[in-house]
Amino acid sequence: MPQAFLTSPLPSTDTQATINTEPAAEPGREKVVLTVRGSIHATERVIHEAHRVGFAEVREWSKPVPTGKINEVLRVLTRYVIVE
């Protein structure tokens, strides 16, 4: 699940078309994004603990993305839940 994070919005012009690269969720389902932020060691520990209790597979999380702070990364898990 590759994702790109932009530090600033793209400049817009009247001729620029808006492109939505994210697929729409199915009716009755809603997207939820969970994040874990901390050192590489700490985020790995939390992700493996979530796997151990059956919450999410380790491979479902994004690769570590540097946050710009020293020794800090961000990892993302996207889930779709049924809403009524």
User: Is the pLDDT reported for residue 2 higher than 80?
Assistant: no
Burial 19-32 (b: 16+ CB within 10 A, else e): eeeeeeeeeeeeee
What number is the average pLDDT over the span 37-53? 97
pLDDT per position as a tens digit, 28-44: 899 999 999 999 999 99
Instruction: Report if pTM > 0.85.
Output: no
- Contact indicator for 41, 2 with CB cutoff of 8 Å: no
Which band of pLDDT confidence, cut at 50, 70 and 90, is reported for residue 56? very high
pLDDT per position as a tens digit, 60-82: 999 999 999 999 999 999 999 99
pLDDT at site 26: 73
What contacts 27, CB < 8 A, 6 or more positions away?
A: none
Taking the C-alpha atoms of residue 81 and residue 44, their distance in angstroms, rounded to an integer, is 24
